[in-house]
Structure 1
Amino acid sequence: MTATDLGEFRAQVRDWCRAHTPADWRRTQSGVSGEEFVAFQKSWFAELNAAGYAVPHWPSEWGGGMSVDEQVVLYQELAAHDAPRLVLAFVGIHHAASTLLVAGTDEQRRRHLPAIRDGEIWVQGFSEPEAGSDLAALRTTARRDGDRFIVNGQKLWASGGMHADWCLLLARTDPAAPKRKGISYFLMDMSVPGVDVRPIRNAVGDSHFCEIFLNDVEIPAANLVGAENAGWQVAQATLGAERGMTMLELAERLGNAGFRWLVETCRPIDDAAVADRLAQFEIEIAGLRGLCRELVEHSHTGTAGPADASIVKLCYSELLQRLTDFGAEVGGLAAHTVLTKPMSSGWESGAWVLDFIGSWEWTIPGGASEIQRTIIAERGLGMPREPIPV
């Protein structure tokens, strides 16, 4: 795409954002009920989908096909116009889609990819009480019974689980195999008998995370993704999306909305040290944007390194934490009195204390920072493997 074409595309997106970004959504989405949040998210997703902006990273045959340059422009303009984020659709359009495109069957793709674009909501059922960063320690079991599997166990930290239609589920199908060898990957209908979703109320009053209890849940064998007992390999596609491809949008959000909120908070403060911190953050954000763009380009050409996604995930999550921490610091006591934030915002809403608390969602789930550093050391730098405790 030429610079002229890209400029025309930017103008097109800019005009669309001006005409379609919901007015006053931050105020109207603060403190709303779960039902109102879901209705708003689905309506906004439908708007983006109708314009061809909902899944730009998907292949063209499934409704995407934008170049990396176009995706960057799209996310820049959405962030610059303070458009709501697709919080509810996040797992579906990124994690579920990546898994299905890499490892799903033709029938699974035909069934679910159009449904996701029609508003089907997904949740990720990976972590458990005793299996967080050490995901291979999961204990949920799936026992084959003819053309179905019977699943029992518990999942934890399932974001948005109470609203989900389907679940990306990891379960142990061979208890006798080594930890990573006996896991299978399933698509689970959340409406079937035996699925019990319980929201977890956190310290600031949100119930974003959920527990999912599974009691003799039946999953058809046709919903197995990849080969039986090869789910660990399939899961890398999902985790790769979480650590990598999603960052292109998030980096632009951080560089536009997040940094803009921070500059506004710091504007009344005439202090050289504050100005120096802002300059440092701007430099780091520019570096993050470059890393994200490079990762997406290399992913499209199949030349991404084995640790590139982990580098980007680590860079984004820790930068987000430092930036929101600084916002809470310069925001002073007033920042501690803000009790709600818009449910459709990102992790950088300008409610600094709540944003800082929320930033820990990125340095722990999807592979904690310690895990990312281990991946970078072992797979990226070729250093000796970390000793396994006896």
Structure 2
Amino acid sequence: MTGRDLHEFRAEVRRWCRDNVPPDWRTAQTGPSEAEFVAFQQEWFQKLRSAGYAVPHWPAAYGGGMSIPEQVVLYQELAAHDAPRLVLAFVAVHHAAATLLAAGTEEQRRRHLPAILDGELWVQGFSEPGAGSDLAALRTTARRDGDTYRVTGQKVWASGAQYADWCLLLARTDPDAPKRRGISYFLMDMRTPGIEVRPIRNAVGESHFCEIFLDDVPVPAANLIGAENAGWQVAQQTLGAERGLTMLELAERLGNAGFRWLVEACATPDATGRRPVDDPVVADRLVALDIEITGLRALCSDLVERHDTVTAGPADASIVKLYYSELLQRMTDFGTEVGGVGAHTVLRKPMSGGWESGAWVLDFVGSWEWTIPGGTSEIQRTIIGERGLGLPREPTGT
């Protein structure tokens, strides 16, 4: 599709959205059963796939091949038409695909990339109770036993694990090596005996995150990604996708539908008939957020373009992740202020939506997730300082 006229492509996507975005999906996806949620997500994914819109960032050989400008147009129009997000497929189409394309074998790519397009779901098994921000401190072990590894340990904050078919798993294969050098990266079938998934109910009553308990789980050696004990390097490919490439869509959603709802909230009269936007302070904050969102969109487009040309800097993805997560917090916090007491009476939000749904209090509480997963804001600032600015490394404890 590279080289196609962008005006024609935008018109095509607009027509498709008008014909295919379910007009009542927000109502239907507010409070559905788990089975209804999964069925809706899988159906929506296949609609996007049939149009060629599900994995635009993948290579053309695997069903993608859109240029960066085309991807921007696509995400702009999906956001403008308030299309559902691919919540369930997010890890599969971004993290799993990035890992397989960068470090997987040809056999692993042939096995899993087509399966992802058919609806195979993935979860990321990285963080542990004692290894979140300091991921290299993980203690889950993988012991070699012939052509199998036996995995024992615990993972936490695993998004969507209760639905997943496969897991991107980090485990320690050499307990005597320096902590970053004794880790290996595996593809683990979530239907394997010895795996127990426990959903975690969060502050707004949802169970987005899960714990995963692993008791002597057999993982074939053929499911190793990269070399044994070289998993830390492979994991950087996964984290790079989480911190950078996924942001293109999220930035467009934040800057389009999300900001539009904020403007509408500011233009809605209160009980006295006054509109919040008539207050110069409110108007000034709206303008400031608009400027920040414009900067975020530009950063994301630039990062994806330079990723494709292999010219991205070592801290660029961290800059985008930090900028997005903290801007999301500021914007949803402001929405909560503008929404007033009424915003606190909204108890549910659509499950197939983004982090900006217009349910401002729930959005604000949920926004704090983004400053933790994929590396906390503090970790991102350290990466930016050390890898981006060349500052001295932080001292390590003894």
**TM value normalised by structure 1:** 0.99
Matches within 5 A, 1:123-272: 123-267=123-267, 268-269=275-276, 270-272=278-280
What SS is found at the alignment partner of 2:152? Answer: strand
1:306-334 per-residue CA deviation (whole Å, 9 max, x = no partner) reads 00000000000000011001111111111
1:29-85 per-residue CA deviation (whole Å, 9 max, x = no partner) reads 001111111000000000000000000000000000000000000000000000000
Matches within 5 A, 1:293-304: 293-304=301-312
CA distance in structure 2 between the partners assigned to 1:296 and 1:205 by the alignment: 35
Match of 1:378? 386
Match of 1:115? 115
Match of 2:349? 341
What SS is found at the alignment partner of 1:151? Answer: strand
Q: CA deviation at 1:361?
A: 1.1
CA distance in structure 1 between the partners assigned to 2:184 and 2:74 by the alignment: 36
What SS is found at the alignment partner of 1:185? Answer: strand
CA distance in structure 1 between the partners assigned to 2:120 and 2:166 by the alignment: 8
Q: CA deviation at 1:203?
A: 2.0
Q: CA deviation at 1:92?
A: 0.1
**Do residues 358 (structure 1) and 354 (structure 2) align?**
no
- Cα-Cα RMSD: 1.0
1:320-368 per-residue CA deviation (whole Å, 9 max, x = no partner) reads 0110011111111111110000000000000001001111111011000
What SS is found at the alignment partner of 1:339? Answer: coil
Q: CA deviation at 1:2?
A: 9.6
1:211-258 per-residue CA deviation (whole Å, 9 max, x = no partner) reads 000001000000000000000000000000000000000000000011
CA distance in structure 2 between the partners assigned to 1:204 and 1:319 by the alignment: 21
What SS is found at the alignment partner of 1:212? Answer: strand
Match of 1:387? 395
Unaligned runs of 5+ in 1: none
Q: CA deviation at 1:206?
A: 0.5
Stretch of structure 1 that moved more, 265-274 or 106-115: 265-274
- Letter of the 1:83 partner, please give it: A
What SS is found at the alignment partner of 2:213? Answer: strand
1:90-129 per-residue CA deviation (whole Å, 9 max, x = no partner) reads 0000000000000000000000000000000000000000
Stretch of structure 1 that moved more, 218-227 or 268-277: 268-277
CA distance in structure 1 between the partners assigned to 2:346 and 2:233 by the alignment: 43
Match of 1:44? 44
Stretch of structure 1 that moved more, 260-269 or 379-388: 260-269
Q: CA deviation at 1:4?
A: 7.7
- Is the alpha carbon distance of 1:183 and 1:262 closer, same or farther for their aligned partners in structure 2, counting shifts above 3 Å? same
Question: What is the total number of aligned residue pairs between the two structures?
Answer: 390
CA distance in structure 2 between the partners assigned to 1:313 and 1:383 by the alignment: 20
What SS is found at the alignment partner of 2:154? Answer: strand
**Do residues 69 (structure 1) and 69 (structure 2) align?**
yes
- Letter of the 2:8 partner, please give it: E
1:108-158 per-residue CA deviation (whole Å, 9 max, x = no partner) reads 000000000000000000000000010000000000000000000000000
CA distance in structure 2 between the partners assigned to 1:259 and 1:203 by the alignment: 24
Match of 2:16? 16
Match of 2:104? 104
Q: Which runs of 4+ in 1 moved over 3 A?
A: 1-4
Q: CA deviation at 1:207?
A: 0.6
Match of 1:287? 295
**Do residues 273 (structure 1) and 281 (structure 2) align?**
yes
Match of 2:271? none
